[in-house]
Chain A
């Protein structure tokens, strides 16, 4: 995609990231395919012992409060739903990326996972208010992956004992400029290259690449990219930022062309997303 814009050292850091598991890749492809059968998801989970164990552990956790234990993948997947299963798969195979201390951003361990999970839920909720057809489950997956470039950029910063603060002038319009001045690139670009290497489709790659500047996405991916853009803000406003960058990105007001939103709807989305986040975060622990 945009590898030419990335300094060599950071390209090496991207190359060092482990590939996603085959199960995670196949799950994302499957759940983002409209009209997929539940048995497709069950087959993928059943073929992966680690994922099977995680799915059964999650469904039998106290959060779901089941009276009788669920012992089969079939019932567990039906009970949890596709989104929880995809979240588990990504967390299992990229957990080291999501859980690392975000020292470069002055964030805490786990901040990135919490932020991405909240963004995924909010992006899915926003997608349901699209003026043109937009797959909410694809928005969820894109939200889960949108900031993966921060993990790579952070790891590179830490090896150089560097960070992205200070100085941060709160009046700076765009924190990406800060990343570019320190690293010669930014987290959406890094994330998109990593997603491309992971074999993710163009929808996800573009949504990751342009989630802070959705007007730059190709027309076909703009709705999805805006959904992630807005979900990102809702997560940050809801208290799940990733450190010092917080809300220091511009909001692209062009979202109005893609979504039917008003202040009351936003309050409802904020509320519903926060409730679902709380439930899912606890279940996935």
Chain B
């Protein structure tokens, strides 16, 4: 097994069948995972915030930090790793985006992350096939290239699949 850890704002893409991509402690951040079943490639990005305009320098060095730069960078990394260009076969899954209930709509970063990510995916012709978004828990997620399975853990809970 080749374990590739994805930090906050990091991204990884691999067409190695033994690859397992993993990211930890998703609070309001969201892991966007893309599978290309044809080429047997997997990719993951750990997005922290919706919009890179707040820190353009950071977006250049770590594009995965923001939804608007992270998803295009993830697709580029997938192609570089050997994925096929035909996105119609891609499978997209989303995990994370814990959200606090705030009547002022100021602290709802998880919700804003999810909206930004879905909007960008949509403009790229991609729609999530599955998602485990929201709630008030912390999540750790892994994606296995060999099976395509997305496994989620959270402190004090049994593992589940998305």
* Contact present for A106 and B156 (CB under 8 Å): yes
Residues of A within 8 A of B86 (CB): none
A27 to chain B, nearest CB (A): 30
- List chain B residues, Cβ under 8 A from A268: 54
Q: Which residues of A240-278 have CB atoms within 8 Å of chain B's CB atoms? A: 240-241, 243-244, 246-248, 250-251, 253, 255-256, 261-264, 266-268, 270-271, 274-275
For A239, the chain B residues whose CB sits under 8 A away are 8, 24-27, 29, 138
Say yes or no: B155 contacts A271, CB within 8 Å. Answer: no
Cα–Cα distance between A264 and B55 once the two chains are bound (Å): 12
* Residue picked from B28, B103, B104, B156, most chain A C-beta under 10 Å: B156
Alpha-carbon separation in the docked complex, A275 to B29 (Å): 15
Cα(A233)–Cα(B107), bound, Å: 9
List the count of A-B residue pairs having beta carbons below 8 Å apart.
104
- Of A170, A237, A244, A255, which one neighbours B27 at CB under 8 angstroms? A237
Q: Which residue of B lies closest to A163 (CB)?
A: B156
Known: A246-B138, A266-B106. A168 touches B27 (CB 8 A): no
Chain B residues with Cβ below 8 Å from A165 are 155-157
Q: Give the total of A residues in contact with B, Cβ under 8 Å.
A: 38
Q: For residue B100, which residues in chain A have a CB less than 8 angstroms away from its CB?
A: 233, 237, 247, 251
Looking at chain B's contact residues, the main secondary structure is: loop
Q: Would you call B55 and A247 a contact (CB within 8 A)?
A: no
Query: With A168-B156, A243-B156 as given contacts, are A274 and B101 in contact (CB-CB < 8 Å)?
Result: no
**B48-A105 in contact (CB<8A):** no
Q: How large is the interface on B (under 10, 10 to 19, 20 to 34, 35 or more residues)?
A: 35 or more
A271 adjacent to B58 (CB under 8 Å)? yes
Least distance between B68 CB and chain A CB atoms (Å): 12
Cβ of A35 within 8 Å of any chain B Cβ, yes or no, is no
Q: Is the CB of B156 within 8 A of A166?
A: yes
Q: With A166-B156, A237-B100 given, is the CB distance from A271 to B136 under 8 Å? A: no
B24-48 contact mask (Cβ, 8 Å, vs A): 1 or 0? 1111110000000000000000001
Smallest CB separation, B58 vs chain A (Å): 7
Q: Which residues of A contact B107 (CB under 8 A)?
A: 230, 233, 237, 251, 266
Q: Of all chain B residues, which has the CB nearest A264?
A: B54
Is chain A's interface secondary structure helix, strand, loop, or mixed overall?
Answer: loop
CB neighbours of B136 from chain A (8 A): 170, 246-248
**Complex Cα spacing A248 to B101, Å:** 10
| B-contact bits for A60-101, CB 8 A (1 contact / 0 none) | 000000000000000000000000000000000000000000
Q: B88-114: which residues lie under 8 A (CB-CB) from chain A?
A: 98, 100-110, 112
A162 within 8 A of B: no
Q: Mark B44-81, 1 if CB is under 8 A from A, else 0.
A: 00001111001100100000010000000000000000
The reply to whether B105 and A241 form a contact with Cβ atoms under 8 Å apart is no
When distances are taken between beta carbons in the complex, the residues of chain B under 8 Å from A262 are 106
Pair A246/B155 contact, Cβ less than 8 Å: yes
Q: What separation, in Å, do the CA atoms of A236 and B138 have in the docked complex? A: 8
- Shortest CB-to-CB span from A100 to chain B, Å, is 15
A248 to B54, CA, bound (A): 28
Task: Tell me if B137 counts as interface (CB < 8 A to partner A).
Answer: yes
Chain A residues, Cβ within 8 Å of B49: 267, 270-271
A263-B108, A274-B8 given; 8 more Cβ-contact pairs under 8 Å: A164-B156, A239-B8, A239-B138, A241-B25, A246-B154, A247-B137, A255-B104, A271-B65
The chain B residues found within 8 Å of chain A, CB to CB, are: 8, 24-29, 48-51, 54-55, 58, 65, 98, 100-110, 112, 135-138, 154-157
Closest 7 CB pairs of A and B: A244-B156, A165-B156, A106-B155, A106-B156, A237-B28, A239-B25, A247-B136
